[in-house]
């Protein structure tokens, strides 16, 4: 009975979470008439899968996809390298003021992005980076406080004796980071990579502020072009949104084992 | 292979001194154990030799070369850690080859060395496994293999058997001794287990609160402990101590007696010593030098608290009637003594030790058999080390 209750509750929540996705997908493949029909249609009479290709072709989405890919791939690489390096430093080096510096780093998490928006714009404008992809990529090479915290906690579960054994084997500090810690950190790195990938892929405000030309737009900005003060192309918005959901979903599917491990943390690490 | 010289080595962590000036001279090819209780500084001393910690003062010489400021990787030392410290993501083969490949050694030579070490340690069939697929004993072998392939001049072993179960520890101990015999490399072994230290080493360094209490062969430590600490630390069950002021001296002997003593005890010395009556001394008696005798016929009266029957011998725990002091005696396994009995204990003066007020041992006389044994052990150690030097 208890099991039945739990499973019923879980099924209910699963339906609640899946429903918006299903509704978006339905909106993408319905005919225009069914789109506005009331009561709503949950199983279209005709499935218009051609809406996906048609919506993709309405605007230069190949360019947007290319821009998004560049931003996401380069910034994820940067985030993984920089955050893991900084975390390694905080976890393994003893230097005066280390703990104070770490608290300062964590404190930066409390500053909302909206507060930093204008200073960042001024800074990037000064550097001549406005209307380029650089403001969306380069900051990722300077580590993120949350990821540094997460990776540091993970590194601290790796016995120090392994570092010492490597040092006696002739490894430099960078060797220890690169050959020992990075491979051991893989579950945590996959978690960091996945979270950052999703953030960068879904980012709307950053591209909106720093990009002007349509040729530089990312997918999220491109999607917003379907909406203007007079009209919204609901089918196109739903079709492109459905397509935009696919890469994070696929990534999550492959990375979920590591994400769960990372979330459970060091408590169960053998 | 290399001798190790340590001169005035000190180490403090903040204001807390851990090593207070260590001087040691370890000969080429020796197997030396650092023995002491937790917190005595033995692991810190090993880590200083390894180069994993920087000394506060003093020098470390390896093969005559001052390596105090040389990074650990350049000292040509290999270390086996207590937790094995194998790289979890690498196979056994890669674990063993890691150091060699970092140093840019040719692949063929790496493979030759790994294969040779694997054969010595009988882990050839495990080379492609990951550490998590190995048992504790196998992991320990891999950790030793990783040290062997580097062909270092000095092996450091930090309590390498402490994570193994009792049976495996005994067999690994025998294998380590055989390995030392085969490699003939200087080895320094840290342990808090005196059985390991006594059975493996050619000499033992007993450390106490950051200082060397005694550096000698296992038999020297047992039969001629330099002070109260070594006397109490070496031997199990521990030596019993009694506050016994001097009652007078004669040629090469001192007579002592303490509170509750029915008769005095005369202990033979190896040299004449002046010790006026009333001088504070401590009498040390190992449990096997105490016999249980009928009431009124021994040195002290005691009550039997507990008898632990171990088969070939029994450990008898007693309380002295006069002072309540706890005493442990070892008797034959079939001795009829029982808990609750009132009895007497008698000391064998030939096996008694005396210590002055500062805890320093007085030079006790030993029988010719024991002396011969100690001498033979010393000679064997010297011959072994000389042979290593000739080989080197």
- pLDDT (tens digit, 9 = 90+) per residue, B116-163? 999 988 899 999 999 999 998 899 899 999 999 999 999 999 998 888
Please tell me the predicted confidence (pLDDT) of residue B369: 87
Q: Are B157 and B189 in contact (CB under 8 A)?
A: yes
Confidence category of residue A269, pLDDT binned at 50, 70, 90? very low
Q: Are B139 and B88 in contact (CB under 8 A)?
A: no
CA distance B356 to B337: 34
Question: Is the model's pLDDT at A34 over the cut of 90?
Answer: no
Based on the number of CB atoms within 10 Å of its own CB, is B276 exposed (0-12), middle (13-18) or buried (19 or more)? exposed
Question: Is the model's pLDDT at A191 over the cut of 80?
Answer: yes
CA distance B147 to chain A (A): 9
Please tell me the predicted confidence (pLDDT) of residue B284: 96
Encoding tokens for residue A111? 């500053």
Closest CA to A251 of A181, A183, A190: A190
CATH class of A60-226+244-268: mainly alpha
Q: Mean pLDDT across the stretch B81-108?
A: 94
Q: Mean pLDDT across the stretch B244-250?
A: 91
Query: Are B79 and A164 within 8 A, CB to CB?
Result: yes
Closest CA to B188 of B177, B201, B198, B172: B201
Q: With an 8 Å Cβ cutoff, is A20 touching chain B?
A: no
Q: What is the dihedral of CA B183, B189, B193, B199, to 10 degrees?
A: 30
Nearest to A169 among B51, B83, B99 (CB): B99
CA distance A29 to B207: 81
Select from A169, A171, A176 the residue whose CB has the most chain B CBs within 10 Å, as the one to mutate to test that interface.
Answer: A169
Q: Are A153 and A88 in contact (CB under 8 A)?
A: no
- CATH 3.50.50.100 is the classification of domain B4-232: no
Does the predicted model carry a pTM greater than 0.95? Answer: no
Among residues 28-67 of chain B, which lie with CB inside 8 Å of chain A? 50-52
Please tell me the predicted confidence (pLDDT) of residue B91: 95
- pLDDT (tens digit, 9 = 90+) per residue, B28-68? 999 999 999 999 999 999 999 999 999 999 999 999 999 99
DSSP string, A36-62: T-SSPPSS-SS--THHHHHHHHHTTHH
| Angle, helix A98-107 to helix A145-155, in steps of 10 degrees | 140
CA distance A213 to A231: 22
Q: With an 8 Å Cβ cutoff, is B82 touching chain A?
A: yes
Query: Are A165 and B146 within 8 A, CB to CB?
Result: yes
Query: Quick one: closest CA in B to A184, which residue?
Result: B89
Question: Is the model's pLDDT at B387 over the cut of 60?
Answer: no
Order of strands across the sheet that contains B65-66: B16-26, B4-13, B57-62, B65-66
Question: Is the model's pLDDT at B391 over the cut of 80?
Answer: no
Query: Are A166 and B98 within 8 A, CB to CB?
Result: yes
Encoding tokens for residue B320? 């002295």
Query: Are B73 and A164 within 8 A, CB to CB?
Result: no
Please tell me the predicted confidence (pLDDT) of residue A267: 34
Q: Which chain A residues are closer than 8 Å to B50 by Cβ? A: 164, 168
Q: With an 8 Å Cβ cutoff, is B190 touching chain A?
A: no
Select from B44, B81, B85 the residue whose CB has the most chain A CBs within 10 Å, as the one to mutate to test that interface.
Answer: B85
B319's CB contacts (< 8 A; 6+ apart) are: B302, B303, B305, B325, B326, B327
CA-CA-CA-CA torsion sign (A62, A68, A72, A73): positive
How many percent of chain B have pLDDT more than 90?
A: 73
The neighbouring-strand residues paired with B353 are B284
Query: Quick one: closest CA in A to B70, which residue?
Result: A168
Please tell me the predicted confidence (pLDDT) of residue B289: 95
CA angle A264, A265, A269 (to 5 degrees): 105
Question: Is the model's pLDDT at B315 over the cut of 50?
Answer: yes
Query: Are B83 and A168 within 8 A, CB to CB?
Result: no
Please tell me the predicted confidence (pLDDT) of residue B45: 96
Confidence category of residue A262, pLDDT binned at 50, 70, 90? low
Q: Are B202 and B31 in contact (CB under 8 A)?
A: yes
Please tell me the predicted confidence (pLDDT) of residue A264: 53
Query: Are A184 and B88 within 8 A, CB to CB?
Result: yes
Nearest to B83 among A159, A179, A270 (CB): A159
Nearest to A184 among B89, B103, B146 (CB): B89
Nearest to A162 among B50, B72, B87 (CB): B87
Please tell me the predicted confidence (pLDDT) of residue B374: 86
CA distance B99 to chain A (A): 4
Give me the residue spans of the domains in chain B: 4-232, 238-365
Confidence category of residue A261, pLDDT binned at 50, 70, 90? low
CA distance B105 to B94: 14
The neighbouring-strand residues paired with B187 are B31, B155
Q: With an 8 Å Cβ cutoff, is A166 touching chain B?
A: yes
Nearest to A165 among B51, B85, B89 (CB): B85
Query: Quick one: closest CA in B to A165, which residue?
Result: B85
Encoding tokens for residue A142? 């300077």
Predicted interface score ipTM higher than 0.85: no
CA distance A135 to chain B (A): 36
- pLDDT (tens digit, 9 = 90+) per residue, A205-214? 999 999 999 9
CA distance A270 to chain B (A): 9
Q: With an 8 Å Cβ cutoff, is A162 touching chain B?
A: yes
Please tell me the predicted confidence (pLDDT) of residue B121: 87
CA distance B284 to chain A (A): 41
Q: With an 8 Å Cβ cutoff, is A165 touching chain B?
A: yes
Q: Are B3 and B159 in contact (CB under 8 A)?
A: no
Based on the number of CB atoms within 10 Å of its own CB, is A44 exposed (0-12), middle (13-18) or buried (19 or more)? middle
Encoding tokens for residue A77? 């690489």
Q: With an 8 Å Cβ cutoff, is B133 touching chain A?
A: no
Q: Are B305 and B352 in contact (CB under 8 A)?
A: no
Encoding tokens for residue A176? 């220890």
Q: With an 8 Å Cβ cutoff, is A183 touching chain B?
A: yes
Q: Are B10 and B38 in contact (CB under 8 A)?
A: no
Confidence category of residue A204, pLDDT binned at 50, 70, 90? very high
Give me the residue spans of the domains in chain A: 60-226+244-268
Q: What is the dihedral of CA B267, B272, B278, B283, to 10 degrees?
A: -30
Confidence category of residue B329, pLDDT binned at 50, 70, 90? very high
φ, ψ for residue B374, nearest 5 deg:
-60, -45
Query: Quick one: closest CA in A to B77, which residue?
Result: A168
Q: Are B224 and B370 in contact (CB under 8 A)?
A: no
The set of long-range contacts for B380-389, using a CB threshold of 8 Å and a minimum separation of 24, is B381/B30, B381/B202, B381/B203, B381/B217, B384/B29, B384/B30, B384/B202, B385/B27, B385/B28, B385/B29, B385/B30, B385/B202, B387/B29, B387/B184, B388/B1, B388/B27, B388/B28, B388/B29, B388/B30, B388/B184, B388/B186, B389/B27, B389/B28, B389/B29
Please tell me the predicted confidence (pLDDT) of residue A55: 93
Q: Mean pLDDT across the stretch B182-186?
A: 89
| A42/A131: higher pLDDT | A131
Give the number of other Cβ atoms within 10 Å of residue A74's Cβ: 18
Q: Mean pLDDT across the stretch A31-39?
A: 85
Give the number of other Cβ atoms within 10 Å of residue B290's Cβ: 26
Say which residue the tokens 């339906």 belong to. A15
Question: Is the model's pLDDT at A182 over the cut of 60?
Answer: yes
Q: What is the dihedral of CA B224, B226, B228, B234, to 10 degrees?
A: -50
Please tell me the predicted confidence (pLDDT) of residue B392: 40
- In order of A34, A35, A43, A133, the CA distances from A39 in angstroms are 10, 10, 12, 44
2.40.50.140, 3.30.70.3290, 3.90.330.10, 3.30.300.180: which CATH number matches B238-365? 2.40.50.140
């Amino acid at each position: 009975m208890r099991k039945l209750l739990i499973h019923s509750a879980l099924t209910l929540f699963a339906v609640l979470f899946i429903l918006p996705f299903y509704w978006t997908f339905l909106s993408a493949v319905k005919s225009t008439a069914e789109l506005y029909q009331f009561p709503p249609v949950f199983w279209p009479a005709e499935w218009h899968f051609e809406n996906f290709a048609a919506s993709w072709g309405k605007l230069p989405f190949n360019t947007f996809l290319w821009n998004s890919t560049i931003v996401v791939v380069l910034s994820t690489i940067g985030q993984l390298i920089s955050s893991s390096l900084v975390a390694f430093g905080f976890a393994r080096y003893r230097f005066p003021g280390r703990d104070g510096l770490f608290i300062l780093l964590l404190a930066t998490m409390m500053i909302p992005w909206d507060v930093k928006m204008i200073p960042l714009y001024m800074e990037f404008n000064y550097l001549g980076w406005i209307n380029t992809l650089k403001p969306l990529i380069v900051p990722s090479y300077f580590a993120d406080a949350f990821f540094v915290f997460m990776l540091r906690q993970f590194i601290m579960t790796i016995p120090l004796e392994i570092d010492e054994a490597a040092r006696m084997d002739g490894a430099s500090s960078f060797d220890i980071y690169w050959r020992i810690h990075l491979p051991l950190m893989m579950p945590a790195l996959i978690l960091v990579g996945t979270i950052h990938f999703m953030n960068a892929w879904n980012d709307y405000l950053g591209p909106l502020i720093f990009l002007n030309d349509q040729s530089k737009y990312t997918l999220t900005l491109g999607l917003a072009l379907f909406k203007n003060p007079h009209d919204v192309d609901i089918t196109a918005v739903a079709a492109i949104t459905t397509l935009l959901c696919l890469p994070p979903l696929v990534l999550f599917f492959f990375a979920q084992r590591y994400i769960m491990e990372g979330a459970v943390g060091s408590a169960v690490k053998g | 292979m290399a001798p190790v010289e340590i001169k005035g080595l000190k180490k403090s962590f903040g204001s807390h001194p851990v090593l207070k000036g260590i001087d040691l001279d370890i000969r080429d090819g020796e197997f030396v154990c650092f023995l002491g209780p937790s917190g005595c500084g033995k692991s810190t001393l090993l880590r200083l030799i390894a180069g994993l910690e920087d000394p506060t003062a003093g020098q470390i010489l390896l093969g005559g070369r001052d390596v105090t400021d040389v990074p650990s990787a350049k000292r040509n030392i290999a270390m086996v850690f207590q937790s094995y410290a194998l790289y979890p993501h690498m196979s056994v083969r890669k674990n063993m080859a890691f150091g060699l490949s970092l140093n840019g050694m040719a692949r063929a030579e790496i493979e030759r060395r790994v294969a040779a070490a694997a054969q010595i340690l009988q882990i050839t069939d495990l080379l492609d496994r990951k550490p998590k697929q190995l048992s504790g004993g196998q992991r320990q072998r891999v950790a030793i293999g990783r040290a062997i392939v580097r062909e270092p001049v000095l092996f450091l072993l930090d309590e390498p058997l402490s994570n193994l179960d009792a049976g495996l520890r005994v067999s690994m101990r025998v294998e380590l001794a055989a390995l030392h015999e085969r490699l003939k490399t200087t080895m320094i072994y840290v342990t808090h287990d005196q059985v390991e230290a006594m059975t493996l080493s050619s000499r033992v360094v007993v450390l106490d609160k950051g200082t060397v209490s005694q550096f000698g062969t296992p038999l020297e430590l047992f039969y001629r402990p330099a002070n109260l600490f070594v006397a109490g630390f070496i031997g199990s069950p521990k030596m019993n101590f009694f506050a016994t002021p001097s009652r007078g001296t004669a040629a090469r002997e001192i007579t002592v007696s303490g509170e509750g003593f029915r008769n005095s005890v005369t202990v033979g010395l190896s040299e004449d010593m002046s010790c006026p009556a009333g001088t504070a001394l401590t009498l040390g008696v190992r449990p096997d030098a105490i016999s249980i005798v009928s009431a009124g016929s021994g040195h002290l009266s005691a009550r039997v608290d507990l008898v632990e029957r171990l088969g070939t011998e029994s450990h008898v725990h007693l309380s002295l009637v006069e002072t309540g002091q706890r005493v442990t005696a070892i008797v034959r396994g079939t001795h009829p003594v029982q808990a609750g009995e009132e009895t007497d204990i008698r000391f064998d003066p030939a096996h008694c030790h005396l210590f002055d007020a500062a805890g320093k041992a007085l030079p006790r006389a030993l029988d010719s058999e024991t002396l011969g044994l100690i001498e033979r052990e010393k000679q064997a150690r010297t011959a072994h080390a000389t042979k290593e030097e000739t080989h080197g």
